[in-house]
Amino acid sequence: MINRKVILLLLFLLAPLIAGCATMVATAGGGMAENLNSAILNQDDPELVRDGAPAYLLMLDSFVEGAPENVAALSAAAELYSAYGVVFVNDPVRAQKLTSRGQAYGRRALCSAKQSICGMWNESYEGFLIRLQEVGPEEIEALYTFALSWIAYIQAHADDFAALAKLPHAQLALTRVQDIDPSYERGNVEHYLGVLDTIRPPALGGDFESGKAHFESAISASGGRDLSIKVNYARYYARTLYDRELHDRLLEEVLAADASQPGYTLFNTLAQADAELLLESADEYF
């Protein structure tokens, strides 16, 4: 998630400063965006990212103010607000506020991408499924962002039954992304679908056979470098099914792995911290 957000952020930030020279924008913007992107994703100090991110949230707000119907600006704001709210904010009230803003941006991005599908999130499950068929390749980025911001909102509002009731809708949106283009953000989409299939017990609609397949596919897609997949595999699949052997094996693999992987270091560092906590509490849980 972060790499696309950071790239978009830098491109929007640089464009006003060097407008009038297209070659310069392409060269400097691309290079600086790539450098900042790498610096964040390869950062092994999550607190540094936590402290620095709010400045970018405000910048993204300003970009949206200047281009209120720009899909890229709205998508960047939606993803960064959502990611920051669920990954770095411990205060539940603040997390709800930030993810609510992220969801609002995600909806606006979808509406700007295609006006005819605006408001489809208010449809029934069956109606939403039908409306999703109107979304095509041109809207895939906005649909992906919309789905992620919705999932983050639901996660931060886990005590709200009305929010939880929309979880199947968000899952349908991600599935539609996969239907449109199976290769689009494959590792991330498979990861999120794995979580969505296993976040609920089987009696409440969880599909653990499907979830296991999604997790395994996500691990394969990342070449095993994204350690957060194995942590969620253990957290949602193994724990819910009380599979202690799989749970411990996955988490021990995470802790034994080298967190410093190009493009994954930040989230791997967070994943190893989570793995330690899950293993420490395993005797009480199982």
Which parts of the chain sit beneath pLDDT 50? 1-34
CATH code for the domain in which residue 241 is found: 1.25.40.920
Domain encompassing residue 283: 185-286
Q: Would you say residue 189 lies in a domain?
A: yes
Q: CA-to-CA distance for 166 and 154, rounded, in angstroms? A: 8
Q: What pLDDT does residue 227 have?
A: 96
Q: Would you say residue 156 lies in a domain?
A: no
Q: Would you say residue 60 lies in a domain?
A: no
Q: What pLDDT does residue 32 have?
A: 41
Q: Would you say residue 160 lies in a domain?
A: no
Q: What pLDDT does residue 99 have?
A: 96
Residue 40 · residue 266 · CB < 8 Å: yes
Q: Would you say residue 199 lies in a domain?
A: yes
Q: Would you say residue 220 lies in a domain?
A: yes
Which element (helix H / strand E) includes 190?
helix 186-198
Q: State how many domains the chain has.
A: 1
Neighbours of 213 (CB within 10 A): 15
Instruction: Note the pTM of the prediction, 2 decimals.
Output: 0.82
Fill in the DSSP letter of residue 200: S
Q: What pLDDT does residue 38 have?
A: 62
Q: Would you say residue 65 lies in a domain?
A: no
DSSP 64-110: HHH-TT-HHHHHHHHHHHHHHHHHT---HHHHHHHHHHHHHHHHHHH
For 55-91, what is each residue's pLDDT tens digit?
A: 888 888 888 888 899 998 898 889 889 988 988 898 9
